[in-house]
Amino acid sequence: MAKDSGADATAEGPPSPTSEAKTPRTERGRRTLRTILDAAAAEFGEKGFHEGSISGITTRAGVALGSFYTYFDSKDEVFRALVRDMSGQVRDHVAPRVRDAVDGIDAERLGLESFLEFVRRHKEIYRIIDEAEFVDQASYRDHYAGAVDRIRTRLAAGAARGEIRADAGEVHAWAIMGMNVFLGLRYGVWQEDLAPSEVAAAANDILRRGLAP
């Protein structure tokens, strides 16, 4: 069984998207921060980084300008925080599903299926992550490197149990991540003409044949 497949678990919870000094200390503050980040996702997802604005974010969030500056110093800072936040949301959405996998290869099926479900509810993630390449290269690379690290950890655990070929490593993890990204674009953003389970099963058949021990 692959229930202990590792790095997707978040025992200590996701890190705050804000700096330590601006991390909210109260439940009300955490709700306000969540509202601002959700509004930023809508603003940047619709208009892009350059056309999006702080006033647009606060209007969508229904908060005063001062509330924004309680947590962020600039548009650049909230954008970077949003990229980290969305990466964390993907991770936290996928992790519980992956832990139910019957083996290491099935973990990738469940990972892709849950990722497609997330994308269909948050289509703006593609525009935001794509723009991060030009707005903040470090956040862009961290987003994908984090996803690859989690896949690579799962592959290593599956290989250790004899479920996956022993040489499965970083290259395989990047290949799986790349496949997932474009399947998410096609079947999550552009069209929803196949169920996530069908897409994930077809992709997983390729992995099962290619990663078999």
8-state DSSP, 99: T
pLDDT attached to residue 20: 53
CA R_g for the chain: 18
Domain 75-211: which topology?
Tetracycline Repressor; domain 2 (1.10.357)
> Cβ atoms within 10 A of the Cβ of 27, count?
8
Q: For the chain, which residues make up each domain, given as ranges?
A: 25-73, 75-211
Q: How confident is the model at residue 12 (pLDDT cuts 50, 70, 90)?
A: very low
Please provide the CATH number assigned to the domain covering 25-73. Answer: 1.10.10.60
Alpha helices of the chain — where are they, by DSSP H?
Answer: 27-51, 54-61, 65-71, 75-98, 104-121, 124-135, 137-160, 170-184, 196-211
Average pLDDT over residues 73-90: 96
The overall average pLDDT reported for the chain is: 91
State the pLDDT at residue 2.
Answer: 52
d(CA 120, CA 72): 28
pLDDT digits over 38-50, tens only? 999 999 999 999 9
Query: Could you read off the pLDDT of 178-203 as tens digits, one per residue?
Result: 999 999 999 999 999 999 999 999 99
Nearest to 203 by CA among 107, 96, 95, 102: 107
